[in-house]
Structure 1
């Protein structure tokens, strides 16, 4: 890792393991942070992507001019070719946002300890090589189940989805951070990772 650039880190983890909580903790610790989910939300809120999906699937996917992500999912996941089309529109735009984010972090003064991008499907999409290091946030099954139920999601079974198990993510990641206690506990563990990342 060269000393001239800020460590570029991919953050991922199991469903309901606490990725967003970890990202917020890293920001409090001084890291520059970006959520790819938030980038996608912003893209859908803009006119360019909205107009593309309306042209593809009709005005029903954006009632009143506001994109309905559930309606988009129905089209995209019904047919692999449609999903491929959607990803070909979304991912290059997300990629451009990530590149701009990294350039801003490298130019920042004072220099942040890391530039961290939360990427839920980091390993599934084969994006790990784009980063200097990766962090997997994991949590015990009962903790994840309780968090998922609090959010109104039923279960966190990853076997039938596009997600790897959190054990697999942990095995592939540079660092694994267990989120089984308080936010302060999580922050301390992440601070130790940031220390290790320094050149």
Structure 2
């Protein structure tokens, strides 16, 4: 199952809730962070943008974000470097989860740009987590992400993600309500 949603809508909280409910979970963002530790990826990024993106033996993800934010050509280059590797890592992890006995009630991968990257085709079902714009703005500001509008210009609006998803979970309440909604989705999928 692919999990997505708007920035600061609660995707990570939803992923954590699904894990508490017994699902096997993976974050594509964490996969990307791991890829930056691989010499081939690190070296390609440094070759492209120079030592300004180097951080000791690794890379400075904020410096990379500054390079690609607002520059479509640089973003496309980086996505071309990362997305195939992310797809391979997800495939390998998914195969490992399918071999588990007993199997988990769900296998869920959080992919913020699920539809934008065309990765929705990899999953049997998709969930979009949505939240009120005021809640999203507050959460984004609290995390130091700037305004939602600034950071989501290249993303589908959350309403479009909701229309494209098989299941929609509204995250405008408590964590208990979020978990209850996700329990209902799992019941539908496993019923």
TM-score normalised according to structure 1 size: 0.88
List aligned pairs for 1:34-113, cutoff 5 A: 34-77=26-69, 80-113=72-105
Q: Which residue is 1:156 aligned to? A: 148
Which of 171, 183, 186 is the matching residue for 1:179?
A: 171
Distance of aligned partners of 1:174 and 1:158 in 2 relative to their CA distance in 1, 3 Å threshold: farther
Q: Which residue is 1:6 aligned to? A: none
1:129 aligns with 2:124: no
Q: CA deviation at 1:99?
A: 0.3
Q: CA deviation at 1:110?
A: 1.1
What is the CA–CA distance in structure 2 between the aligned matches of 1:150 and 1:73, rounded to whole Å?
19
Is the 8 Å Cα contact of residues 138 and 166 (structure 1) preserved in structure 2? yes
Which of 5, 11, 22 is the matching residue for 2:14?
A: 22
Deviates more, 1:67-76 or 1:180-189: 67-76
Partner SS state of residue 97, structure 2: helix
Q: CA deviation at 1:190?
A: 0.3
Task: Give the alignment's Cα RMSD to 1 decimal.
Answer: 1.9
Structure 1 stretches lacking a partner, 5+ long: 1-8
Partner SS state of residue 3, structure 2: strand
Is the 8 Å Cα contact of residues 12 and 135 (structure 1) preserved in structure 2? yes
Per-residue displacement from partner, 1:130-182 (whole Å, max 9, x unpaired)?
21110000111221122112112332227961111111111111000011111
Give the aligned length: 191
Partner SS state of residue 117, structure 1: strand
Per-residue displacement from partner, 1:104-132 (whole Å, max 9, x unpaired)?
11101111111111011111122222211
Q: CA deviation at 1:49?
A: 1.2
What is the CA–CA distance in structure 2 between the aligned matches of 1:101 and 1:195, rounded to whole Å?
23
Is the 8 Å Cα contact of residues 30 and 113 (structure 1) preserved in structure 2? yes
Is the 8 Å Cα contact of residues 105 and 111 (structure 1) preserved in structure 2? yes
TM-score normalised according to structure 2 size: 0.91
Q: CA deviation at 1:77?
A: 4.8
Distance of aligned partners of 1:138 and 1:160 in 2 relative to their CA distance in 1, 3 Å threshold: closer
What is the CA–CA distance in structure 2 between the aligned matches of 1:153 and 1:194, rounded to whole Å?
31
Q: Which residue is 1:146 aligned to? A: 138
Q: Which residue is 1:194 aligned to? A: 186
